Structure 1
Amino acid sequence: MRRRLLRVQRLGRLDYATALRVQKETERRVLHGEQPDTLLLVEHPHVITLGRRATQSAILAAPELLRARGVEIFETDRGGKATYHGLGQLVGYPIINLRPDRQDVHAYVRDLEEVLIRALADFDIEAFRIKGFTGVHTTRGKVAAIGVHIARWVTTHGFALNVNTDLSYFDLIVACEGEPVSSMKEILGRELSLREVEDRIIMRFAEVFGMALSEGSLASSA
């Protein structure tokens, strides 16, 4: 059986509103079969996003402090509560059609967690799930958040992995379920190349989802 093709787009550093427009256009094209399943990878400037289960009370900081720290706020249609995106964090937006054989929302989220767990293992970080919570955790705290939206079985939104993230920004909100957060940098005691982490995410995503990578998807083959 021929494997489905995964197209990877590295968007670099991009503001949240622009990235959201890219997501929506990609969603339309994937839905109508105009391009293959696509994984968007991006680093956002400082932004707090509120999912469908979030309330304004999740934002602990006053508007003046948010402005002083250059933090924007966006309400989104993804699942979950409040989270932070910012510099040093790798955000992945898989835009894939779950039809015909992956039409299971919970299984899709578990697969995203598996991608992240395997990629973290590549850097000798032991990560795991916690029953009843979405995302990926370590003994030092939650290292990756997941929040998705699925319409007509095409996925948008996705995951945020703390790589070199300044974790003090999470103090501005009640993050997800209020659990402590960590980063790859904090766990390993050194900064990492976002490009290198992207490569491992791409490889593990294709592996977990049984897809073939389009040419030039990895840094080593670019």
Structure 2
Amino acid sequence: MSKPLDVMYLPMLDYEEAWNRQKAIVHQLDEGEGAEQMLLLQHPPTYTIGSQNHPEHLLLSEDELREQGISLFQIDRGGDITYHGPGQLVGYPLLVLGRDEALDLHGYLRRLEQMIMDYLADQGIEAGRKEAYTGVWIGDLKIAAIGVKFNRCKHRRGFVTSHGFAFNITSGIQHAGFQGIVPCGIEQYGVTSLEDITGKTYTVEQVAQDIVPYFNRIFPYEITWITEKEALPRLQIRQYKGFRFLSEQ
């Protein structure tokens, strides 16, 4: 019998709020409480820097960040700097992976990539991987970035996943916040979006709904769509240490 997975779409959520929700869900799952979840959402303009942490890949000053209304956070996922903003579908699968499951970090990354590649294939787009890099690529252009963390459980065997994927949907997103960084620290390649590749119009919410069956092919769960109102009473959200604006260094 498949395990339950609650899936929720949020049209727009501040990065800090999303991060605190992830931490709260990870804590509950470690305690054996609640269902595994996947948050699907959009963020306001935000840069996040992962564990590789190359500050030189941020091309804007703090004054320029403030002028453009872009937030900047140091976080605990793998990878370098990336951009999140309107027109991009961000997915945070929060899953319990037992130690007896034959799935390591790299295998999990490959499955998330495959989910997006399968979705794109059904849109008539040939996407793939690029040697030495994570993410989903169309030629030399990245359409989806992936950065995750395996949180080691304290009260049960195994891990709880956090962070996830960022899938560029609407046209022009590559000319938005991506111009202020070296995306994922990769200087020689660019980024693209679903609309720019297909010439069609998509909404982020529709792609969020459409991509869940592709997730379910690879991760067999019993899916239930829930609302934010249904989720929040079960969740004890608080501020967590280890999360800060870079300007607070």
Q: TM-score, normalised by structure 1?
A: 0.92
Q: Distance in 2 between matches of 1:101 and 1:55?
A: 33
CA contact (8 A) 1:143 1:162 kept: yes
Distance apart, 1:103 and its partner CA: 4.0
**How far apart are the structure 1 equivalents of 2:5 and 2:121?**
22
Report if aligned partners of 1:6, 1:206 keep a CA contact under 8 Å in 2: no
Instruction: Write out per-residue CA displacement over residues 185-215 of structure 1, whole angstroms, 9 at most, x where no aligned residue.
Output: 111123302122112221111111122212x
Could you tell me how far 1:140 is from its partner in structure 2? 5.8
Shift of 1:18: 0.6
1:167 aligns with 2:177: no
Go from structure 1 to structure 2 and tell me whether the alpha carbon gap of 1:149 and 1:121 turns closer, same or farther (over 3 Å shift). Answer: same
In structure 1, distance between residues paired with 2:135 and 2:103:
20
In the alignment, structure 1 residue 133 sits paired with structure 2 residue 139: no
Amino acid paired to 1:11: L
Larger-gyration structure (1/2)? 2
1:126 partner amino acid: E
Match of 1:145? 145
User: Residues 33-61 of structure 1, C-alpha deviation per residue, up to 9 Å, x if partnerless?
Assistant: 21222111110000000000022111012
Report deviation, 1:63: 2.1
Which structure carries more relative contact order (alpha carbon 8 Å, separation 6+)?
2
Deviations 1:137-170 (A, max 9, x none): 0126100000001111110000000001521221
Question: What number of residue pairs does the alignment pair up?
Answer: 215
Check 1:36–1:121 CA distance in 2 against 1; reply closer, same or farther (3 A cut): same
Contact 1:140 1:187 (8 Å CA) reproduced: no
Query: Could you tell which deviates more after superposition, 120-129 or 147-156?
Result: 120-129
Offset, 1:173: 0.4
- Please give the alpha-carbon distance, in whole angstroms, between the structure 1 residues aligned to 2:107 and 2:6: 22
CA contact (8 A) 2:78 2:147 kept: yes
- Using structure 2 for the length normalisation, give the TM-score: 0.82
2: CA distance, partners of 1:143 / 1:125: 11
Measure, in 2, the Cα distance between the counterparts of 1:46 and 1:193: 18
RMSD: 1.4
2-side partners of 1:123 and 1:26: how far apart? 33
Secondary structure at 2:127's aligned position in 1? coil
Q: Which residue in the other structure is 1:220 paired with?
A: none
Cα distance between partner residues in 2 of 1:151 and 1:108: 13
Q: Work out whether residues 49 and 81 of structure 2, in 8 Å CA contact, stay in contact via their aligned partners in 1.
A: yes
Code of the residue aligned with 1:121 in structure 2: it is A
Is the 2:145–2:166 Cα contact (8 Å) retained in structure 1?
A: yes
Q: Distance in 2 between matches of 1:136 and 1:25?
A: 29
Other-structure match for 1:184: 194
Structure 2 contact 11–205 (Cα < 8 Å) conserved: no
Shift of the alpha carbon at 1:64?
2.3
State the identity %. Answer: 37
Residue 114 of structure 1 is matched in structure 2 by 114
Give the secondary structure class of the aligned counterpart of 2:196.
Answer: helix
TM-fit CA distance, 1:122 = 2.7
Consecutive unaligned residues in structure 2, runs of 5 or more: 153-158, 227-249
2:20 match? 21
Rounded to whole Å, the distance in 1 between the matches of 2:62 and 2:143 is 26
